Amino acid sequence: MPLEVICLCTYLVTENYGLWRPQDHNASKFVKALKGETLNGYAYVPVLGVQRHLDNSNLDESIVWFGDLVASYMQQHGMNPPFVLVPVPNSSSTTKDSSSRPRTRKLARAIAAKIGQGTTVADCLRWKQNLGSARKGTGVATRDAATLYSNLAVIEKIDGSNPYILIDDAIASGGHLQACAAMLAKRGATVVSAFCGGRTVHEPPDSAFAPLREELADYIP
């Protein structure tokens, strides 16, 4: 069945910055903070009705806000824990480097801390090799689900007793989520949805911080 994906904000991929509004810049900087990247200036992020100030001095607060926003969405939409939260690994998180923890693990842990009720984090996915960043155009980077699936490994036992949710900082084509969902399903997990910090778009929506829900077609190996 299609994978439900919920993104907390959207940000433009166009380089025509004349189209960008202040909220588009704020959303882009929020996603950069989730990725651990340095910001140029500051941003304001709406979190449960409060405008939060974000700059390089408090980048990690964006992770807490991510957890707050996802927990609020779950509550509003009747998503009842417990869940197993699976971080989508960064390109550098490979089986060859056991010490390389994906930054998305912090996002998953922020959600688990907020919703509790038996929700756990399973940092169980790694890439077999670093293909580079598709966004930065490095290495042999790809967003093709089939290629990504063949490069994916499960490093922990999958417990299928609770539903699984994928956690990522951003989504472009959705190939990474499709590959991860297919790999978990192959090992017996029921993957019910995915939460991402931001979604790339080509046209500005009415509100850059309105949660965007979409469905990704299954990748079937």
pLDDT at residue number 137: 53
pLDDT of residue 213: 97
Any idea which architecture 3-216 has in CATH? 3-Layer(aba) Sandwich (3.40)
214 forms beta bridges with: 5
d(CA 45, CA 107) in angstroms, rounded, equals: 16
Strands (E) across the chain are located at 3-12, 43-47, 50-54, 84-87, 120-121, 125-127, 152-154, 164-171, 191-201, 212-216
Q: What residue type is assigned to position 144 of the chain?
A: D
What token pair was written down for 99? 């010490």
Tell me what percent of the chain is helix, strand and coil, each rounded to the nearest 5: 30, 25, 45
Provide the whole-model pTM: 0.95
Q: Return the pLDDT at 25.
A: 94
**Based on the number of CB atoms within 10 Å of its own CB, is 80 exposed (0-12), middle (13-18) or buried (19 or more)?**
exposed
- 189-218 pLDDT, tens digit per residue, is 999 999 999 999 988 889 999 999 999 999
Q: Give the start-to-end residue ranges of the domains of the chain.
A: 3-216
Work out whether the CA dihedral 10, 15, 16, 22 comes out positive or negative: positive
Query: What's the rounded Cα separation, in Å, for the pair 41 and 53?
Result: 11
Best CA proximity match to 191, nearest among 122, 140, 139: 122
pLDDT band at residue 4, thresholds of 50, 70 and 90? very high
76-101 pLDDT per residue, tens: 999 999 999 999 999 999 999 867 79
Question: How far is it, in rounded angstroms, from Cα 83 to Cα 171?
Answer: 21
